[in-house]
Amino acid sequence: MIIDGFVHQLPDTDPGETEEWLQSLDAVVDIGGKTRARFLMSKLLERARELQVGTPATVSTPYVNSIPAEQEPFFPGDEDIERRIRAFIRWNAAVMVVKANKHADGIGGHLATFASSAALYEVGFNHFFRGKDDGLAGDHLYFQGHAAPGIYARAFLEGRLTEEQLDHFRREVGGKGLSSYPHPRLMPDFWEFPTVSMGLGALCSIYHARFNKYLHNRQLEDTSGSKVWAFIGDGECDEPETLGSISLAAREGLDNLIWVINCNLQRLDGPVRGNGKIIQELEAVFRGAGWNVIKVVWGGKWDELLMRDVDGVLLNKMNTTVDGEFQRYAVESGAYAREHFFGPDPRLRKLVEHLSDEEIRNLPRGGHDYRKLYAAYKAATEQEGGPTVILAKTIKGWTLGPDVEGRNATHQIKKMTTDQLLTLRERLHLQDEVPEEALADGKEPPYIVLPDDSEIGRYMLDRRTALDGSLPRRVVRTKRKLELPAKEAFDELLAGSGKQAASTTTSFTRLLRNLCRDPKFGPRVVPIIPDEARTFGMDSLFKEFGIYASQGQHYEPVDHALLLSYKESRSGQILEEGITEAGGLASFIAAGTSYSTQGVPMVPFFTFYSMFGFQRVGDLIWQASDARARGFLLGATAGRTTLLGEGLQHQDGHSLLLASVNPAVEAYDPAFAYEVATIVRHGLRRMWLDGEDTIYYLTLYNENQVMPAMPDDVAKGVVEGLYRWADAPHGPTHQATIVFSGSANLAAREAQQELAEHYDVAAELFSATSYKRLREQALTTERWNRLHPDQPARTPRVTELLAGEGPIIAVTDFMKAIPDQVARWVPAGRRFTPLGTDGFGRSDTREALRRHFEVDAAHVVVATLAALAADGALDSGVVADAIRRYEVDPDQADPRLTP
Ligand SMILES: Cc1ncc(C[n+]2csc(CCOP(=O)(O)OP(=O)(O)O)c2C)c(N)n1
Ligand SMILES: [Mg+2]
């Protein structure tokens, strides 16, 4: 077999002995059968592990619990009380969703996810999750988004939420409501991490755990008391973001990370792996990636059956039954399981002879067995050297009754009839707490409220007090104050580049270096790069600041003799993520929320290939906003024509447009180094002096030009989005305004000269650093005017600034829709023409590309003259003259439409 071909290449020092062992195995198979042989092999492997022989780990184990019954630890809680707590929470969660849909039909909500995972959460809340009392950072919990109702129900029982709030589940307008899912934006004192865009919470939890180690290893904060717990759906594991970075967690030895995967075998539409076994599949994936895997498949009542399974027939049945069948057993009667699961084999049937159909039906799954879960969590929290995943088998909709449990439609069930509520009440043994008449038709089902000082309430709160307070809870309290950088850090960029040419990218790298060097602020800077540092000239930072590597550097780098060698270090500052923009963003979120999760403000600067930012990982940027991350995103090699040569999949002419839709993101398109410095400085102040949870996006170009020194009195304009960069030349008859952004400044400046020299047009130049900001300000003004009809109308800033004469031409290396954002507010009577790079990119020189996309100086001239002609100020022959002079092809195919 090819797969084992390596064996033939190993030296055999004693062929005789080898043969004896092989013959023994042959004999076992002949006499004892394959099951027996498998058993012996497993025993041998176990012994080899104990003896540290170093055999490779197998990727899968039989379909049983990883922790055998005899190795389960003592359970220190009061199981009865905890069962009651769980029942109350289950009930209140269901009532909350049912009531919400009664009051506002169609408002939604989910019952089945939490119903399957209640025990997964409760064992954590009662015994493991560390809170944040006394200034502690505590554990960090990523909840399955659709389990939110259960988390609210517990908070209510703990007295943290009111009945009125529960009654406003999913009705947030007005301020009393609870958000549908975990949203730190909407419930900033409660939820810490957004999770409901499937896969993103999982990914973020890995990088969060890694970032906690980074803070620790760089001696910025002792994070050893914080574990990161992520609760994930089995269906959610199909998202590439969920499993895509798990090898990092093992490589980095993240023993502060625990995943609990709720394997209810179902997703939204149906089974996750009807024809396979999701738990086995995930086990292999995680073991292969180097994780500690704990399977919690069967509840305690199976232990006795497994013990009596001397022939291995039960084990064999467990191993060979597919998930689709297991789901069927969840909805059928005990008699059905006796017939089909235990039935075919008389030895198997005999194993359950002594059980009634009802007892067979109630043989529970491991994920509903509190003691099994306790054992798994305890082992996970004690694990050293790597991450743990707990694969817990559950039933979706568990306890919600036969119409909901295990049904394919269960995910979206949000209404319950009186009969269904009565069944639930009975199932949860709530006859005392919920009077039957309270559920009569037309009545509002009641929440269970704990009387003051009840034993159960006391127990629950005592547990949380012993574990440092209630969760989830988000706090912002600064343990280690951030001091903003001294002004000197920005001076180099403000002074311009003298006679030398520089790009905004290399200028930014200098700024980043200066910021890192600032004695107080420097250590808080987190430079993040996904394997692109050389492209951006950032490899110059490697040696000075070091690349973070938890294990240090076990080799002498190939370039050790060079001044700028590749230096990895445990205290390294740079997060060189490798080729993963998603991972980079997850690090950005971890660093950008550290002000809250750890009380240690950190300032991430994530520099990426502009095309692979908003376009590639836009939802993670949305996640960052929801998580209230603060920091800087730098879209380098920006522009559709400035990035020459690379072509269609690299040239970004639209990230600014994508950035414009995110309410927490400021989107800037600076032309000059001093603009970059001014914007970054302003962003730092807004984030860290004003405490705004905002993200700054700046495009950076790789075209070199002489960077001018910062003119006087433009700082305000730079941050507000628009300022006059050059007056119109004196002399010419006609007036016009050219507005440029980014690298398009070169075309605009050349056009200004051409217009004056050849066409008697005096054009003033404006730099538009942020159309988004101009538009937002204009919208604010417009709204104010609309709602204050009796007050003097206010004028939007962009209207005020562009109060000149003649047409306005706006030129950008991005799509025309970018300048179009402000077209409505251009002063009446001024014709507005945007020139931009709509269409697919392609490889060529900058000159050829700019001609193709009609954004070069010639096209700026032609557009200006055409606008003046349309206004009647010029004869159309002048336009034709310019077209001839600059050899513009009037019949060139429209770049928007060319393939
Ligand atoms: C990215 C993304 N795609 C789709 C959805 C819609 N969605 C919400 S829950 C769900 C099914 C979840 O199944 P699973 O992960 O197994 O969780 P369970 O509810 O079964 O515990 C889907 C498809 C989403 N929230 N996010
Ligand atoms: Mg599921």
* pLDDT the model gives residue 343: 87
Ligand 1 atom, smallest distance to 264 CA: 20
Ligand 1 atom, smallest distance to 233 CA: 15
Query: Which residues is 347 bridged to in the sheet?
Result: none
CB half-sphere exposure, 633, CA atoms < 13 A: 36
Averaged pLDDT, 130-146: 97
Q: Which residues contact 235 (CB under 8 A, 6 or more apart)?
A: 198, 266, 267, 268, 272
For residue 1, pLDDT beyond 60: no
Nearest to 258 by CA among 147, 365, 384, 156: 384
Q: Which ligand is nearest to the CA of 115?
A: 1
Place of tokens 């001014």: 678
Ligand 1 atom, smallest distance to 117 CA: 21
Tell me the pairing of strands 722-726 and 525-529: unpaired
Q: Which ligand is nearest to the CA of 233?
A: 1
DSSP category for residue 767:
E
Q: Could you tell me the two tokens for 312? A: 């291995």
CA of 413 to the centre of ligand 1 (A): 14
Ligand 1 atom, smallest distance to 110 CA: 19
Q: How confident is the model at residue 105 (pLDDT cuts 50, 70, 90)?
A: confident
Instruction: Quote the CA–CA distance of 774 and 113 in Å, as a whole number.
Output: 44
For residue 163, pLDDT beyond 70: yes
Beta strands in 41-153 (DSSP E): 140-142
Averaged pLDDT, 405-425: 92
Instruction: Give me the DSSP letters along 244-278.
Output: TTHHHHHHTT-TTEEEEEEE-SB-SSSBSSTTS-H
Ion ligand 2 — residues with CB < 5 Å: 233-235, 264, 266
Q: How confident is the model at residue 3 (pLDDT cuts 50, 70, 90)?
A: low
Q: Which residues contact 154 (CB under 8 A, 6 or more apart)?
A: 89, 121, 122, 125
Residue 518 near residue 722 (C-beta atoms within 8 A): no
* pLDDT the model gives residue 898: 84
CA of 337 to the centre of ligand 2 (A): 22
Beta strands in 678-760 (DSSP E): 695-699, 705-706, 722-726, 734-740
Chain segment 291-302, per-residue pLDDT in tens: 999 999 999 999
Amino acid type, 466:
A
Averaged pLDDT, 531-556: 94
DSSP category for residue 638:
-
Residue 739 near residue 768 (C-beta atoms within 8 A): yes
Q: Atom 17 of ligand 1 has which residue's CA nearest to it?
A: 233
**Test site for ligand 1: of 111, 264, 267, 278, most ligand atoms within 8 A of the Cβ:** 267
* pLDDT the model gives residue 585: 98
Helices (H), 613-725: 614-626, 655-660, 673-688, 715-720
Q: How confident is the model at residue 859 (pLDDT cuts 50, 70, 90)?
A: very high
Ligand 1 atom, smallest distance to 199 CA: 1
Instruction: Give me the DSSP letters along 432-486.
Output: TTS-GGGGSTTSPPPPP-PPTT-HHHHHHHHHHHHTTS-SS------SSPPPPPP
CA of 232 to the centre of ligand 2 (A): 9
Place of tokens 């903003």: 484
Residue 182 near residue 143 (C-beta atoms within 8 A): yes
CA of 620 to the centre of ligand 2 (A): 22
Name every protein residue with a CB atom under 6 angstroms from any ligand 1 atom.
113, 116, 144, 146, 196-198, 233-236, 262, 264, 266-268, 272, 396, 411
Distances (CA, A) of 478 to 474, 482, 627: 13, 9, 17
CA of 312 to the centre of ligand 2 (A): 29
Residue 392 near residue 263 (C-beta atoms within 8 A): yes
Chain segment 708-728, per-residue pLDDT in tens: 999 999 999 999 999 999 999
Phi first, then psi, for residue 415 (nearest 5°) are -120, 150
Q: How confident is the model at residue 63 (pLDDT cuts 50, 70, 90)?
A: very high
Place of tokens 């991972």: 583
CA of 268 to the centre of ligand 2 (A): 8
By mean pLDDT, which of 10-14, 230-234, 513-517, 685-689 is the weakest? 10-14
Instruction: Quote the CA–CA distance of 769 and 720 in Å, as a whole number.
Output: 8
CA 876 to chain centre: 54
Ligand 1 atom, smallest distance to 411 CA: 19
Tell me the pairing of strands 722-726 and 695-699: unpaired
Residue 88 near residue 448 (C-beta atoms within 8 A): yes
For residue 2, pLDDT beyond 70: no
Nearest to 514 by CA among 494, 482, 492, 538: 492
Chain segment 733-789, per-residue pLDDT in tens: 999 999 999 999 999 999 999 999 999 999 999 999 999 999 999 999 999 999 999
